[in-house]
Structure 1
Amino acid sequence: MYTPLLANIAILVLSGFVGFAVISKVPNTLHTPLMSGTNAIHGIVVLGALVVLGKVEDPSIGLQIILFVALVFGTVNVIGGFVVTDRMLSMFKSKPVPAAVAPGSVEKGADS
């Protein structure tokens, strides 16, 4: 009745609950560094996929396709994560102060 597949499914479900409980308690100001750390972990996953792709002896074409697609999806995930993190960090940058207009000069776009 107790199979390794059932154990793996139970671990997956429990880890999902633990992950949700941990992430829901993170303050809003810490989400950006948390996402950057997660992107680094995804980079390690991509390296693992490269190792598996290189070490399989005599792989079939189907296995090569599956490994390549997994590698592409992992890479897209890493790049997309860093793009989103960069956009979130740019929201916190202060906007440049416009140069003061000299007295007596005409502003661009002013009505005549």
Structure 2
Amino acid sequence: MDIRLVFILVLATFLGFELISKVPSQLHTPLMSGSNAISGITIVGALLSLVGSFSVEGNVTRIILGTLAVTFATINVVGGYLVTDRMLRMFVKKEKK
């Protein structure tokens, strides 16, 4: 593996942690919505990669990794929308009877 890729991974991990830890709690719902949109793009990319892997015969690793990418990104999107929906329901005024 190229050392540049490892450097980018470490830098992105550190930067992501620093950015998320500095976000005030009022902005977590919009941030989660943006994260869901990015995960949706990840699903599209994983599906395109998976479709391309079926055209090459005998490449089981691509098929397995593509399937895992689609599965995990889908779980991330669904979970993110459930959390966002739950957080937004907390801000709805309850009707008095």
Q: Where does residue 27 of structure 2 map in the other structure?
A: 30
TM-score when normalising by structure 2: 0.86
Per the TM alignment, residue 41 of structure 1 is displaced from its structure 2 partner at its CA by: 0.3
* Greater Rg over alpha carbons, structure: 1
State how far apart, in whole Å, the 1-side matches of 2:4 and 2:64 are.
29
Structure 1 residues 16 and 91, CA gap change in structure 2 (3 angstroms): same
Which of 37, 40, 46 in structure 1 is aligned with 2:37?
A: 40
Q: Where does residue 15 of structure 2 map in the other structure?
A: 18
Gaps of at least 5 residues in structure 2 are none
String of CA shifts for 1:24-82, please: whole Å, max 9, x gaps.
22111111000000000000000001111112322434432332222112111111110
Q: Give me the identity figure in percent.
A: 48
Provide runs of 4+ in structure 1 moved above 3 Å: none
Q: Where does residue 94 of structure 1 map in the other structure?
A: 93
Q: Where does residue 104 of structure 1 map in the other structure?
A: none
Do the aligned residues in 1 keep the contact of 2:36 with 2:81 (CA within 8 Å)? yes
Aligned length: 95
Letter in 2 for 1:55: G
TM-score when normalising by structure 1: 0.75
State how far apart, in whole Å, the 1-side matches of 2:33 and 2:83 are.
10
Letter in 2 for 1:19: G
